[in-house]
Each structure stands twice: as structure tokens, then as C-alpha cells.
Chains A and B, each alone.
Chain A
Amino acid sequence: MIKFFLMVNKQGQTRLSRYYEHVEINKRTMLEAEVIKNCLSRSKDQCSFIEYKDFKLVYRQYAALFVVVGIDQTENEMAVYELIHNFVEVLDKYFSRVSELDVSFSIMFNLDRVHIILDEMVLNGCIVETNRNRILAPLFVLDKVAES
């Protein structure tokens, strides 16, 4: 299962965090700091899977933002690696960002919507929906309701 889903920037600021198993809040900040430290020290010659404690980290970098997913041994690493990209593409489609920097900006100011998107894709640590249109459907409804 997926243990957690994080978006952390190079400065170590968490932009998004979702835990699928209960973790105490002080342990979260520690975990996030360690995770980003691990990711920042990686080079291009190294693979995208880091063995960390008793699970694995799958990470992918988008400009200044790292998406890091913690998984246990029941998950397929490559599938999660592409799930991250799928997620980013969905965000991209919804926010129609203009530049790389806008991604961070959009996420911060629309945290609730980003959570909705993530919740449509991953539920209880399992991948549930990967179809872009189906993921965004509830958000389009929400936006319509808000406008009226």
C-alpha cells in the first residue's frame, strides 16, 4: 500500500502531505525533513527508488518540487513512479499553469482542490482512479456550483 504522498520543495517546505497510516505530527515533520534530505542528495546516476527504513521512497522531481511517495513491498515501484506523473499531469490540466513556478503557487492557494484530486486517485493507500477526466469531474461540478 501507499504509506504517504508528499510534495516538498528544495528548501524543505512541505506543499502537500497525505498520510494513509496514522503518523504523529512531530514525527511527520521529522519524516518530511529526512525524506527531502535523502532526495536532494541523489544524483542523475542513481535510481528513483530509495530504500528507507522498512519501506521504499519513490520520488520524481519537477523543477524545484519533489513528489515523494512512500510504499511498502506490495506496490509496483514503476507503477507508482508513473502514478506521480499522472497526478502532476492532472494538476497541470486543472490549473493550466503557465510556468513551472506556478505549480507551487497554484498548489498553495488551492490546497483543498489538490487534496480532492489526490483523494480521487488514491484512497486508503490504494490507487483507485487514473482516468484524468473522471478524476476532474467532481471538481468541474464544484466550480460550476461555486460560480452560480
Chain B
Amino acid sequence: MPAVSKGDGMRGLAVFISDIRNCKSKEAEIKRINKELANIRSKFKGDKALDGYSKKKYVCKLLFIFLLGHDIDFGHMEAVNLLSSNRYTEKQIGYLFISVLVNSNSELIRLINNAIKNDLASRNPTFMGLALHCIANVGSREMAEAFAGEIPKILVAGDTMDSVKQSAALCLLRLYRTSPDLVPMGDWTSRVVHLLNDQHLGVVTAATSLITTLAQKNPEEFKTSVSLAVSRLSRIVTSASTDLQDYTYYFVPAPWLSVKLLRLLQCYPPPEDPAVRGRLTECLETILNKAQEPPKSKKVQHSNAKNAVLFEAISLIIHHDSEPNLLVRACNQLGQFLQHRETNLRYLALESMCTLASSEFSHEAVKTHIETVINALKTERDVSVRQRAVDLLYAMCDRSNAQQIVAEMLNYLETADYSIREEIVSYLCFPYFFHSWLWYHKYHLLIRMLHRTSPDLASSEVVSEEPADTVHDADELFHKFVCKNNGVLFENQLLQIGLKSEFRQNLGRMFIFYGNKTSTQFLNFTPTVICSDDLQSSLNLQTKPVDPTVDGGAQVQQVVNIECVSDFMEAPILNIQFRYGGTFQNLSVKLPITLNKFFQPTEMSSQDFFQRWKQLSNPKQEVQNIFKAKHPMDAEITKAKIIGFGSALLEEVDPNPANFVGAGIIHTKTTQIGCLLRLEPNLQAQMYRLTLRTSKEAVSQRLCELLSEQF
């Protein structure tokens, strides 16, 4: 029976909830809620002091209203008052409220911390538990300052009750995460390691979570946990199903704890002590063996729990990368899962195999599954599963199978959805593949395929051996940088790339800023600037590599030194690769180093301008373009763009005052090229005619092309 009908039921709350459920519209619901908020507000302000039961009832209502999505800006005081009640039910609601609706009011914080202090000192395990839960869920800096010293003591004290130890362990974890400086290592660390031997498995679970995080920053302090974790894991895995009583889940002994212990072991290299190492190997073999045995139960929960442990064990085997026998067995097990009827298992197997592919012991074994993975690419209905298949094909690729894999990826390109298509193209254009498919004369096939399947992915630039952009409006962002030097070049959910550059004569310097937008580190972060052979002879680029690890929220910087040797038509490509979480990221973006960056303005009189204009009358020297305006035809903005382009803006030269005239010189190491331009707007037709005259046809062509995109 639902507790609401029992004595403690708070019938007013039940009635309120019914009212909300019966509301026919969002407006009705909001009206009812506001009515209740007004009611509660008046009760809280009233001169009659509320009894504990009423306070609890109203605080509970506020909590419910908050859940519905309405911000609550009062009630904290009353919730805090409930904390000092001696009744468990009232205290519990008070703690629940302040854990869910965290408030940074300093006066309240002081009162809350006081209540917590009292409850911690009360020696009543239920009250201590509530207080610890609150700290663990809120864990503010103020709480850390108040309690970080005391919690480790509670955790390792002999007379602390098991349930309190559990909460204390995770409480300490929270405080360590938010304020590591306030939780220094000390005597308590070795006692915490011994909690792994506790007979209460809940305590062991909590302790394992704590040690796993602490060990990452302080591996030396917690080294001794390895042998304890191994023996614990070993005992669990070999236990009969009756041994662990309530920690057995559908005939699987303590699955969540096993997963946690395996995770903890992944913080350390393989154990040095041969006895410990032997025991661990035995344990892992047992887990692998159990996967092959007939299941003890037909229920899906049994196999899921068993497989959770299995995948984690495989993860450990891959991490250690030291036992060829185990690695091959892991590979075979994953191979079996690749063809399992459950999509979850196929997905996890593909993901796991990706990491396995980078181990030298198992790389060959992984390659044997190539047909299955290719089949997955073609037949899987879930796009994230197909994505894993693409990642795995890329990871298993080497000289022996590059031709086959590239061919399959090209085939798949025709029918793939847009998101995967971009990834495949970027993989294919990575230098390794670049040389592979050049070698196999697939280059032309790729270009034709790109033109056929995705005209917007391919552009005229691609024909000159550049990888295609992997961002939808990359072209637009690229063109944005033709007339300006600073800004954001690229942004997706993980990464932001910003640019800041300056140019002088035929030299330039570009700062590229890579911002990690996530809270997870990027590993093996490798940005490379790639120029085609033609481009390399005209544009000299020098850069230094950056730090391969980019912390969450951090930004790294790369400097590119630029020298324009002669005029050039193409743009260099910036290719970025890194590991994020379990995935491999590869993207490419055009780097906006364009010919006009080396354009210096030249002032001249009207007479001079027309004289030079006549001199450049050879048809090869002139390039003209008539095009539709992309942006509103504002004269001031147009002038700014021409100046941003690098040209001088010559006033009162053209007899028609609406026309724009410019002049400048392109500086290269080998030559200087004089350039004249004329932009004629037709406001009625919303069109422009742009004419470029320079002494070199290619330069006229390129500048006209670049400038046309700006309007």
C-alpha cells in the first residue's frame, strides 16, 4: 500500500498532487501552483509558529513544485529549521530540501553547517547518516572547510556503524573532488585501504569508489589496495551463489562491486608481486570461462549483470596489455559478441575492440574480424553502432588491409548518413589513407564519388588534393576570415578553434587557439597543417607541436609562421586529431591564409589610377565577375570590407560616386604584383560587377574569387 494513506501521509500534499494531476492545461497548473505558493508563503510569514508536521508538509509541497520545473525562492529557512528537529521524519525532509535546492546564501550556509555539526556529533547513526548524505550531495566549499578534517576520522573509527562508514566514504570523495586542497593524505589512508576487507559489502563498494578517485592523484599512497582488491575480487568471483546472500543479483555475485574493483585495478599497472599477479590472472580467466558456460538463468538481468563484469574485466586486460593469452581470449569473446542478437552487446563489443586494436599483442587477432565489422557497417540500424564500426575499421587498418577497408568505406559513403559521411571523408583524407589510396589509384574515384554524392562536401578546392571540410558551413566561416584576422574559425560540441593573425608585407603570424569545451581531457591532441605539393612551393609555413594533453575547459595555443614565396591559389588545411573519452576525433578545416593577406594598400590619384588601368588592358590581365549580393548592399560596410581585404579605398576616382575603386600591391618573396579593382553595385537588381586587373592572370582570378564571396 502506498505510504500516503498511513498516519504520516500528509493528506494535504496528496490532495495538492491530485489537483495538479487533474489540471487540464499548463495555465491551470501554473494557476494552481501559484495559489499554493501564496498559501505557503503566508503560512510561513504568519505570526503563529508552525509545528513540525506542518512545516514538513509545506516544505514537501515546495519540493514537489520544484520538481515540476518552477524555481523556488523561499522556504529555505523553514527547511533549515526542520534540520534541528529531533524527529527523523522532519529532519529528513529538511535535509532533502536543502540537498535538492542548493542555496548559496551565507547565513543559511552557516545555519546548515551548524545543524550538520550537531548531527555528526550526536552519535546517532541515522542522524549522522543524514548529515553525511547532505554533505556528499551538496559538498560546497564552505562545507569542505567545516568538515573535511572530521570526515576521515569518522570513516576509520572502529566504532562507526557500517551504514555511516558508507556515507562517510562517499562524503569524503565529494569533498576531495570539490576541494582537494582541504583533504590532505594522512594516517587515515592506510585504514581506508583496509576497508576493502570489510565484511559489509556496501562499505567495500563505497570504499572502492573513494580509493579509485584518490589513487588517480596519489597512486603511491594507495598502492597497497591492489593486492586487497585482487583477493576480494577473487573471493567474489569464485563464491557460490548462496555465499553473498543479498548481494547476489540474479545468480551473479556482487556484480556492481566486481565492476568497481576491476575499475580500481585499472588505475595501476599489472601487479609486480608474482603471487598477486597470478591470482589476478586466474580471476580474469574465471570470468572469461563463466561467459562460455551455460547460463544459470534465462532472465536477461542475469546475462546483463554477468556481461557488465565481463566487459570490465576485458577493459582491465586491455589496460594491462601484458598477457597475450588473456588478450587473445578477450578478443575472441568480443568477436562472439559482434554477432550477438542483442544490439547492446554488439555496440559494447565494437567499442571495446577499438581499444584492443591498438595493442600489439592482439592487433592481428582483431584484424581477423574484419568481415564481421564491415557487415556491421552495412546492416546495423543504429547509427551509433555504425559509428563504432567505422572507428574500429580505422583502428584495425594497416598496410595489409588498407585497400579493402578504403574500398568498403568508399562504398558505404554512397548510402551513409551525413554525420558519418563527414567522418569517413576526414578519415580517408588523413595522410596515411591519403598515401594508401593514391597508391591504389583510388584518388579519382574518391573525387568523383564526392562530387556525385555530396556536392556541398566537395568543392573546386578538393580537386587540388585537399580534404573536404567536415563542418556544414565551413566555407562560410572560411570566407569570414578573408577580410578579418581574428575570430572563431570552428566550433562543435567538443572543441572551439579561434584565430588571431597579423601580416606585414610577405610575412605573417597566426595564433591558433584550441579550446576544450568539455570537462574531460583530450589526449594525443595533434593539430597538423597540411599543404598540397603545389601550395608548399608558394607558401612556407612553420609551426611547433602543441602539448598533446588538453585539460577540460583549458585552451592551448599554436603559432604558425607564414612566408609568402609566390602567389598561391589554394588554402592550407588544418587537421586535428585527438582522443576524447573512448572515441577518436578527426576533423579538418581550411586555414584562412589567403593571397589577399599579403595585399598592401596603395594610395594614388585619379589620374594615376586610370593610367595604370589602361596599361593592364590585356584581356588575360582582367577578370570580371557579375554576381548576386549575398548581404544587404550597405555602402559603409562595403567600404570596410574592401579595406579589410587589404586594398586602399580610393575616393573620388570613379566618375560614378556609387562605385568603389581600390588599389594595392601583393607582396611575395619573389615578386610584387600591382592590383587594381572596381566594384559596381546595382541596387535595383541587388547585384554587383567586380573587375580585377593585375599583371598576372592567376592573381586576378584568385583575388576576384575571394572578394566576390564577401558581398
Residues on A close to B: CB < 8 A?
A: 14, 16-18, 20, 22, 25, 28-29, 43, 45-51, 53-54, 72-74, 76-79, 81-83, 85-86, 95-96, 105-106, 108-113, 115-116, 119, 123-124, 126-134, 138, 141-143, 145-147
Contact = CB atoms under 8 A, between A and B. Distances in A.
Which interface residue of A54, A112, A133, A147 has the most chain B CB atoms within 10 A?
A112
B304 interface: yes
A33 to B, nearest CB: 10
A111 B63 contact: yes
Contacts of A25: 66, 69, 71
Which interface residue of B63, B88, B137, B307 has the most chain A CB atoms within 10 A?
B137
Nearest to A102: B2
B137 A123 contact: yes
A104 to B, nearest CB: 10
B139 interface: yes
B384 A115 contact: no
A76 B520 contact: no
B246 interface: yes
Contact of A54 (B247, B346, B519): B519
Contact of A123 (B170, B201, B312, B582): B170
20 contacts: A14-B69, A18-B100, A46-B381, A73-B520, A79-B305, A81-B304, A82-B255, A83-B256, A108-B21, A109-B4, A110-B4, A111-B63, A112-B93, A116-B96, A123-B133, A128-B209, A131-B202, A142-B88, A142-B92, A145-B88
Contacts of B201: 131
Given A78-B304, A145-B89, 16 more contacts: A14-B67, A14-B68, A47-B344, A81-B308, A109-B4, A110-B4, A115-B96, A123-B170, A123-B206, A126-B173, A128-B170, A130-B205, A131-B246, A142-B92, A143-B8, A147-B6
Contacts of B166: 123, 128-129
A47 B385 contact: yes
A142 B9 CA distance: 12
A58 B56 CA distance: 34
Contacts of B311: 76, 78
A29 B206 CA distance: 31
B96 A130 contact: no
B249 A76 contact: no
B503 interface: no
Contact of B381 (A45, A83, A109): A45
B206 A131 contact: no
Contacts of A123: 133, 136-137, 166-167, 170, 206
Interface string B2-20: 1110111000001001000
Interface residues of B, number: 79
Contact of B493 (A53, A105, A108, A111): A53
A16 B260 CA distance: 26
A129 B205 contact: yes
Contacts of A96: 1
Nearest to A74: B263
Contacts of A105: 2
A95 B5 CA distance: 12
B155 to A, nearest CB: 14
Contact of A79 (B8, B71, B259): B259
A92 B276 CA distance: 42
Given A129-B202, A145-B89, A113 B3 contact: yes
B131 to A, nearest CB: 13
Contact of B67 (A72, A111, A128): A111
B102 interface: yes
Main secondary structure of the interface of B (DSSP, over half): helix
B64 interface: yes
A123 B259 CA distance: 17
Contacts of A127: 205, 209, 256, 260
Given A45-B382, A54-B520, A126-B209, A79 B343 contact: no
B202 A46 contact: no
Contact of B202 (A29, A108, A134): A134
Contact of B8 (A53, A54, A146): A146
B308 A73 contact: no
Nearest to B136: A124
A105 B174 CA distance: 33
B174 A124 contact: yes
B2 A109 contact: yes
Contacts of B206: 123, 126, 128
A111 B341 CA distance: 38
Interface in B372-387: 381-382, 384-385, 387
A76 B312 contact: yes
5 cross-chain pairs, A with B, having the tightest CB-CB distances, nearest first = A146-B8, A78-B308, A46-B382, A45-B381, A73-B581
A143 B14 CA distance: 17
Contacts of A108: 17, 21
Interface in B90-136: 92-93, 96, 100, 102, 126, 129, 133, 136
Interface string B30-62: 000000000000000000000000000000100
B7 A146 contact: yes
B6 A73 contact: no
Nearest to A26: B71
A36 to B, nearest CB: 13
B343 A46 contact: yes
A124 B206 CA distance: 11
B455 to A, nearest CB: 29
Contacts of A110: 2-4
Contacts of B173: 124, 126
Contact of A146 (B6, B21, B139, B249): B6
Contacts of B89: 142, 145-146
Contact of B247 (A119, A131, A138, A147): A131
A119 B166 CA distance: 12
A73 B126 contact: no
B7 A147 contact: yes
A61 to B, nearest CB: 13
Interface string B305-316: 101100110000
B514 interface: no
B688 interface: no
B304 A82 contact: yes
B322 interface: no
Contacts of B8: 142-143, 146-147
A28 to B, nearest CB: 7
Nearest to B10: A112
B494 interface: yes
Contacts of B139: 124
Contacts of A112: 60, 63, 92-93, 96
A112 B96 CA distance: 8
Nearest to B209: A126
A47 B69 contact: no
Contacts of B171: 124
A121 to B, nearest CB: 10
Nearest to B72: A25
B301 interface: yes
A49 B93 CA distance: 34
Given A45-B381, A47-B344, A111-B63, A106 B2 contact: yes
Contacts of B21: 108
Contacts of B382: 45-47
A115 B89 CA distance: 13
B347 interface: yes
Contacts of A72: 520, 581
B348 interface: yes
Interface string B189-210: 0000000000001100110010
B6 A95 contact: no
Interface in B577-614: 580-582
